[in-house]
Amino acid sequence: MLDELARLSTDASSEGRRRLLNAVTDLFLHDDEPSEEAQEHFSDIATHSLGKMEAPDRKDYADRVAAEPQLPRKVANTLANDPDAEVAKLVLKLSPVLTDADLAAIAVNHSQAHLLAIAERATLSENVTDILVDRGDKQVLRTVSGNEGAAFSDRGFERLVERGANDAGVRKNLETRRENLPVSQARRVLQIAAHAANKAEPGHQVELISGEAPKRVVREARERRLELKLLIADLKDGRRTIDDVVTILARDDRAFDLAQVISTFSEIQNAQALRALLQPESSGIAVACKALGLGAEAFRKVLELRTKRLGLLEASIDVDVTHYQALPAETSERAMRFLKVRSKVS
């Protein structure tokens, strides 16, 4: 492979450089276990070529490799740090090789468009959301507050409340995901809602954190967690089918809980399941559901949840269900075995 890479690297023309990078990438990504030397050589060729390419070509390349788990981190960082947010956007949103440290550094130094792409990732750590809520504009705050895979530190959550409590979009997002927030943060959401109601109706006093309402919030959250545990137990004991459980959770728009069920029974990480469920491309969640033996009608419920959450076209549901029915179970099972192995290695 190294000899082939060296041969391809001799063409220095603009068009030749673009073809070179695509050819080298094809070679590299088809090598299941590239050596460290091959990774370094590929990274050098890729970063050098990208530095000589115009923005439209860099964007085409970035979109092509954004979700590749085998892309070297150096190349992913080069694309994610591109000053043109259109180039960086899909890599920032989808790349599985960017670390929290990478994302945090980019969030500190780059544009609001870069921050927005990061805010759309399927999962976000507290370290990253701390920066997003400090630096983000209204659109970033709305996006990260509505991202069910985004975790907030107590300090970060207070900063989000400080900067976004007067924004109806942020308040609505936090209210929607309240049940999956830690209890202290769920209480702050209730305070925000009560304060907004008092401002809207000065003569009507809404009971704040000391009353029954926060107790109800905590109770409802506990009840949902208990219900999820019981559903999983029923599924393990054969009292319910996977179709029953998935349909219940998808119908109630419980994306986080649905990802936990998929994670539990497919033995992949919860973050992987949530990322597959909430990314625009449906192939990942289709593979996971098929490997679990989920029926077509239950998968339709999953698609309906995704359509509502992601603002997708309802017309695509029938097409995706048809493709799902044609997807071989053996192919999905092989793909899931590969994911589990990679997850254990990483």
Domain end, chosen from 64, 98, 132, is at 98
At residue 255, φ and ψ (nearest 5 deg) are -60, -45
> Rounded to whole angstroms, how far apart are CA atoms 272 and 339?
9
Residue 211 lies in a domain: no
Question: Which DSSP symbol is given to 67?
Answer: T
Query: Quick one: what percent of the chain has pLDDT higher than 70?
Result: 84
Q: What is the pLDDT of residue 9?
A: 53
Q: What is the pLDDT of residue 198?
A: 59
Q: What is the pLDDT of residue 134?
A: 96
Residue 235 lies in a domain: no
Q: What is the pLDDT of residue 221?
A: 63
- The mean pLDDT of 22-40, rounded to a whole number, is 83
Residue 140 lies in a domain: no
As given in the structure block, the two tokens for residue 263 are 């994670």
Question: Which DSSP symbol is given to 150?
Answer: B
- The mean pLDDT of 1-22, rounded to a whole number, is 60
Measured in residues, the chain has a length of 346
As given in the structure block, the two tokens for residue 129 are 């959301």
Q: What is the pLDDT of residue 12?
A: 59
Nearest to 190 by CA among 229, 161, 163: 161
> DSSP of 19-61, one letter per residue?
HHHHHHHHHHHT-SS--HHHHHHHHHHHHHHHHHS-HHHHHHH
Residue 322 lies in a domain: yes
Range of the domain at 337: 241-345
pLDDT digits (tens, 9 = 90+) for 216-272: 655 666 677 778 888 888 899 899 999 999 999 999 888 889 999 998 988 778 888
Looking at every residue in the chain, the average pLDDT score rounds to: 84
Question: Which DSSP symbol is given to 178?
Answer: G
Residue 248 lies in a domain: yes
Please report which confidence band the pLDDT of residue 212 belongs to, taking 50, 70 and 90 as the band edges: low
Residue 266 DSSP SS3: helix
> Rounded to whole angstroms, how far apart are CA atoms 331 and 76?
28
Position of tokens 């981190």? 73
At residue 9, φ and ψ (nearest 5 deg) are -80, 5
- The mean pLDDT of 146-174, rounded to a whole number, is 91
pLDDT digits (tens, 9 = 90+) for 108-129: 999 999 999 999 999 999 999 9
Domain end, chosen from 76, 98, 120, is at 98
Domain end, chosen from 98, 125, 148, is at 98
> Rounded to whole angstroms, how far apart are CA atoms 110 and 34?
32
As given in the structure block, the two tokens for residue 188 are 């702050």
> Rounded to whole angstroms, how far apart are CA atoms 84 and 80?
9
Query: Between 254 and 341, where is the model more confident?
Result: 254
Question: Which class for 110: exposed (0-12), middle (13-18), buried (19 or more C-beta within 10 A)?
Answer: buried
Nearest to 254 by CA among 301, 206, 193: 301
As given in the structure block, the two tokens for residue 7 are 């041969």
> Rounded to whole angstroms, how far apart are CA atoms 200 and 254?
30
> Rounded to whole angstroms, how far apart are CA atoms 111 and 103?
13
At residue 327, φ and ψ (nearest 5 deg) are -70, 120
Q: What is the pLDDT of residue 29?
A: 82
Position of tokens 């507290």? 126
Q: What is the pLDDT of residue 205?
A: 45
Q: What is the pLDDT of residue 210?
A: 44
Question: Which DSSP symbol is given to 302?
Answer: H
Residue 151 lies in a domain: no
SS (H, E, C) 84-128: CHHHHHHHHHHCCCCCHHHHHHHHHHCCHHHHHHHHCCCCECHHH
| Domain count across the chain | 2
Residue 171 lies in a domain: no
Query: Between 235 and 12, where is the model more confident?
Result: 235
Please report which confidence band the pLDDT of residue 63 belongs to, taking 50, 70 and 90 as the band edges: very high
Residue 127: other Cβ atoms inside 10 A: 15
Angle separating helix axes 100-109 and 85-94, nearest 10 degrees = 150
* pLDDT above 90 (res 318): yes
Q: What is the pLDDT of residue 336?
A: 73
Query: Between 153 and 17, where is the model more confident?
Result: 153
Residue 229 lies in a domain: no
Q: What is the pLDDT of residue 284?
A: 87
The Cβ-side half-sphere exposure at 19, using a 13 Å CA radius, reads 9
* pLDDT above 80 (res 88): yes
Q: What is the pLDDT of residue 217?
A: 56
C-alpha distances out from residue 194 to 161, 162, 184, 209, Å: 13, 15, 16, 9
Residue 4: other Cβ atoms inside 10 A: 11
Q: What is the pLDDT of residue 251?
A: 92
* pLDDT above 80 (res 145): yes
